Amino acid sequence: MFDFSLVRYLPKDANIPFISMRWVAMVLSIIGIIASIFLFSTRNLNYGIDFKGGTVLEFSIGVDPQAELENIRILGTSLVEGEVGLQTIARLADEETGAERPDGLRLSIPKQPALEGADNDDKAQTAAFKKVEAAMVAAYPNYEFLSEQILGTKVSGELKKKGAMAVILALLMVLIYIWFRFEWQFGAGAVAALAHDVILTIGVFSLTRLEFNLSIVAAILTIVGYSLNDTVIVYDRIRENTRKYKTKPLEEVLNLSINDTLSRTIMTSVTTLLALVALYIWGGTGLNGFAFAMIWGVFVGTYSSIFVAAPILMLLGVKRSGVQK
Amino acid sequence: MLHFSRVKIFFIMGAIVLGILFSMPNVLPVGVRDNLPAPLPRNTLNLGLDLQGGAHFLLEVDVKDGVANKLKAESSDIRKILRGERVRTAAPVRVDKEEPYINVTFKTFADEEAGLPLLEARSEPIDENKINSARTLNIENISELRYRVSLTDEMVSYMTERTINQSIKVLRDRIDPTGTMELTLAKEGSERILLQVPGADNEEVKKIESVIEKTAHLSFHEVKNPDSPLELQVCIEEQTCPPGTSAYLDEERGTYLLLTERPILTGADLKKSDPGLAPQTNQPIVNFTYNFAGANKFCDYTSEHVGELFAIVLDGKIISAPNIKGAICGGSGYIEGNFTIQSAKELALLLNAGALPAKLRVAYKTQVGPEMGADSIRAGKAASMLGLLGVALFMWLSYGLRFGTIANTALAINIVLIAGALSILGATLTLPGIAGIILTIGMAVDANVLIFERIREESALGRGPINAVDTGYRLSLAPILDANITTLIAALTLYFVGSGPIRGFAVTLAIGIVMSVFTAVVVARLMSAVWLRRARPKTLPI
C-alpha cells in the first residue's frame, strides 16, 4: 500500500566527480570573494538604523499613499538635515472585516548632527523625529501610527561592534569544537568554508543594497550554523570512509563521501528552503530581509560544504593510519 | 539501538505529555485557560514588544549635566568657605566655561597657604566606611597660585551609579504612581536605564515620554537687584555675572532677572503637591505643602524679605516671580504660572515623584503600535502554517506514508515541545523568534533525513529491515550530534552577544535544535522500533 516514496528516484550510487571540479569551484569562489570585498570596500553596505543611527517612522495616512509620496518626501526633507527616505509597506487586510487596508509608509530620517553643546546626537535624533511626526499628523487627518525606531550614533556603533564580535566569536568557538572532534585540517577547512559564506553574504547585501541590520547579523550566524551543519555531515562521512577504505586515494574518499551524503544534502536544503520561502512570502515585511539572507545562505552554505570544505582537505592532507598517500 | 526499556519509554512519553501540557495554554481560549484546575500550567508565551505593541527605551543619564551641577554647588561652597576665612582670590572662584573644573586663583602666597588646606579639606572619601576609599575631588596646581579643582573619575562613576538608581526610582513613581502597570525599569550597563512598557498605545507612550524629558528641578531663588543695568547686560550677553548669580528670563514681565544660584528652597523641601484652581481667578495652579524644615526656612526667609521678589524656577525657566507681601509661615503655598489643567496636573505628579538627579536622553527607542504587532503575529502564523504544510507534504512524498509519518509526527512533537519549553522558561517570543521557529521547522527534519538516508544505504548494502534500521540509527548519531552541537554553539554565541529581539531568535533556535535532536534520535526511533516489532516487514518502504 501507499508505496510511493519518491526519494527512491534520487540516485543511490551517485558518482559525481565533485572533487575534480574543485579548481573550477575555487576560481568561482575566489572571484566571488574578491568581488564581495571589492563591493564592500567601495560601496559598503546599506546599513539600517541599527548600525548607523537615525530614525524610522512607520505610519499610514489612511488612503493609498502613492499620490502623496512626493509631498511627504519634500515635507520631511524640509524639516531635517539631509534627505528623508520613503518606502511603502504592504499591510494585511483587516482581520475582522476583511477589508483591504491601504499601504503604510516607512519614512527614514538620516542621522542628525549633534545639537550645539551636546556630546552626542541622541537629542537631535529625537527632536528631528518629533518635528516630522508632528508635521505628518498635522498634514494628514487620518494619520495612524504604526511603529517607530530612534537610534543615536553611540548605541548603533555599539551594536555594530557587538554584531561583528558575535560572528567572529562564533567562528572561533566552532573552530575549537571541530578541532577537538576532528583533526586540525578539518577545523581549518570548516572555518574557511564559513568565512567564504559570510563574505559572500555580505557581498550580496552590498550588491543588492538591501538593508543590512541586526536581523541580517542573526541570519549570518544562522547561515554559519546551517553551513556548518552541512560541512560536519560531510566531514563525518569523510572520517568514516577514511577508516573504512584505508587504501583508497584521498580524492576518491572525499568524492565518495560527498556523494554518499548527497541525497541528505538535497533533502535538507529543500525542506529548509520550503520553510524559508513560506517565511519570505507570507512572513511580513519585518522578516523579508532575514528570509532573503537565509535563502541565499542555504545555497551558498550547501555549495561551500561540497566545494570549499571538502577540497581544502586535498590541500591540507588528512592523517590516515597505515597508508601512503 | 532498537530496544527500549519500559522505564525509558515511560520517561519519553512523560516528556511528551509534559510538553503538551505546557504548550496547551497557548492554544486554549482565554476562558478555558483561566478556569483550568490548579495543578495544570496556565503560562503562555510572553509576546515581545514587537508583537504585542508597546515601547522600549534605552535612556542615558547626562553625566556631563550632573558633573556641571555638582561643580556649580562645589564652587559656591568653596567661595563661601574662603570668604569665611578671609582668604582672598585674584578672580572669583568659578566653574570654567569650557571644561569641567573650578578655577581657584589665590591673591598672595599668604592666601594660598591659608586657602589650600581649606580646598583640600573639601575632598572627602567617597565611601566613609572604607579605608583607602577614593576621594571626591582632584586638586591640581596649574601654575603659581592657580589651582584647578575637578571631580575624580571615581566620583564621576559613583555619581553616575547613584544617579541611575535614583532616576529609576523617580521614573517608576512618575510613570506608574499606582503600581498597576507592567513596567520594566532596570539598569543596563553602567550608564543606561532600560524602560519597557508593553502594550502601551501611542497616547500612553507620548505621555510617558513627556515625563521622562522633564527633570522637574523646582527651586525658589532670591531675586538680586543688579548694581547697574550694565552689570545685568554683561551677565546676559557675556555670561559673566556677579559671582553666585545668573540671569533668567522672566517671560511674564518680559525682562531678565538676576537670581542667586543657591536656592532658598528646592523641590526636595516640598511634601506633597496637588493640582488646583486659584480661589479668585479660577486659573489652574499647583498647591503644595512644605515639609517641616522647608516650612521653617521659607517662613524665616519671607519674614526677612518682605516687599522683595522671589523667583520660582522650574528646569531653568522662571515660571513665576511673585512679590513677598508678608511672612509666609503656614507651611503651604501654591505656584501660579501659565498652567492648563493638564500641565498643572503633570507638574504636581512630577513634584510628588521628585526631581530627576540629571537629564535623561533617549539613546534608543523602538515603539510598535498594537495593530502592527497583531499584523506580525498573523503573518508569522500564516508563514509557519504554510511552511509546516510544505515540509510535511514534502516528507510524505519523499519517504512514503510510513517513514513520512514518523518524521512528521516527530516534527509535530518537536513544535509542541518548543512551545512548551518556551512557556516553561517564560521566554519572550519576538518577531525574529518567529523566524527562528519557522527556520527550525525546515531544519528539524534534517536529523530524520540523515537517519533515513543512512537506513536506505544500509538496506541497499543488503541488510535486513531490522538490521538496516538499527545500523542507520547507530551510525547517524555521531554526525547528528556533531552537526547540531556546532549550530548550538552559533546560537548560544548569538544569545550572549546579541541584544533584545535577537536574543529571542537565539532562544527559539537553540531550543529548536535541542528538541529536534530529541525527537529525531529518541522519539522517532521509538516509533520505528514499535512499528518494526509489530509489522515485521520483509522490506523497507523507503
A186-229 residue pLDDT tens: 989 998 999 999 999 999 999 999 999 888 988 888 888 889 88
Nearest to B431 by CA among B508, B512, B495: B508
For the cut 50, the answer to whether the pLDDT of residue B59 exceeds it is yes
Q: Mean pLDDT over residues A151-177, rounded?
A: 85
What integer pLDDT is reported at residue B91 of this predicted model?
85
What integer pLDDT is reported at residue A34 of this predicted model?
96
Are B403 and A165 a contacting pair at CB < 8 A? no
How many Å apart are CA B102 and CA B72, to the nearest integer? 8
Instruction: Say which of B361, B397, B486 has its CB closest to residue A123.
Output: B361
Q: Mean pLDDT over residues B374-380, rounded?
A: 89
For all residues of chain B together, what is the average pLDDT?
A: 87
For the cut 50, the answer to whether the pLDDT of residue A77 exceeds it is yes
Are B376 and A284 a contacting pair at CB < 8 A? yes
What integer pLDDT is reported at residue A1 of this predicted model?
43
What integer pLDDT is reported at residue A203 of this predicted model?
96
Which of A107-121, A131-145, B472-486 has the lowest average pLDDT? Answer: A107-121
- Strands (E) located in B243-339: 245-250, 255-260, 265-266, 270-277, 284-290, 310-314, 317-320, 332-335
Calculate what percentage of chain A has a pLDDT beyond 90. 40
What integer pLDDT is reported at residue B335 of this predicted model?
85
Q: Is B461's Cβ below 8 Å from some Cβ in A?
A: no
What integer pLDDT is reported at residue A269 of this predicted model?
93
Q: Which of residues 48-87 of A touch B (CB under 8 A)?
A: 58
What integer pLDDT is reported at residue B68 of this predicted model?
85
What integer pLDDT is reported at residue B474 of this predicted model?
92
What integer pLDDT is reported at residue B1 of this predicted model?
62
pLDDT band at A6 (very low <50, low <70, confident <90, very high): confident
What integer pLDDT is reported at residue B268 of this predicted model?
83
pLDDT band at B261 (very low <50, low <70, confident <90, very high): confident
Contacts of B403 in chain A (CB under 8 A): 5
Which of A39-43, A172-176, A317-321 has the lowest average pLDDT? Answer: A317-321
B218-224 and B265-266 strand pairing: antiparallel
How many Å apart are CA B321 and CA B335, to the nearest integer? 10
Contacts of A146 in chain B (CB under 8 A): 368-369, 371-372
Contacts of A149 in chain B (CB under 8 A): 365-367
Question: Nearest-CA residue of chain B relative to A163?
Answer: B498
Q: Give per-residue pLDDT as tens, B265-316.
A: 888 888 888 898 888 888 898 988 888 888 888 899 989 988 888 898 988 8
What integer pLDDT is reported at residue B469 of this predicted model?
92
What integer pLDDT is reported at residue A135 of this predicted model?
92
Kindly list the distances between the CA atom of residue B187 and the CA atoms of B57, B169, B175, B191, B368, in Å, as whole numbers in the listed order: 12, 11, 16, 8, 22
Q: Is A39's Cβ below 8 Å from some Cβ in B?
A: no
The one-character DSSP state at B323 is B
For the cut 70, the answer to whether the pLDDT of residue A12 exceeds it is no
What integer pLDDT is reported at residue A324 of this predicted model?
43
pLDDT band at B119 (very low <50, low <70, confident <90, very high): confident
Question: Nearest-CA residue of chain B relative to A13?
Answer: B457
Q: The whole model's pTM is what? A: 0.81
For residue B398, the distance in angstroms to the closest alpha carbon of chain A comes to: 4
For the cut 70, the answer to whether the pLDDT of residue A254 exceeds it is yes
Q: A5 and B398 in contact (C-beta within 8 Å)?
A: yes
Q: Mean pLDDT over residues B495-507, rounded?
A: 79
For the cut 70, the answer to whether the pLDDT of residue B482 exceeds it is yes
Q: Which domains does chain A have, with CATH numbers?
A: 16-48+156-316 (1.20.1640.10), 54-151 (3.30.70)
For all residues of chain A together, what is the average pLDDT?
A: 87
How far, in whole angstroms, is CA B59 from its chain's centroid?
7
Q: A275 and B411 in contact (C-beta within 8 Å)?
A: no
Nearest to A182 by CA among A192, A172, A193, A174: A174
CB pairs under 8 A between A and B: 262
Which residues face B314 on adjacent strands? B218, B317
- A181-190, A192-201, B117-126 — which one is most confidently predicted on average? A192-201
How many Å apart are CA A15 and CA A36, to the nearest integer? 32
How many Å apart are CA B174 and CA A101, to the nearest integer? 37
Q: Give per-residue pLDDT as tens, B131-184.
A: 778 888 888 888 888 999 999 999 888 888 888 998 999 999 888 888 888 888
Q: Mean pLDDT over residues A153-174, rounded?
A: 85
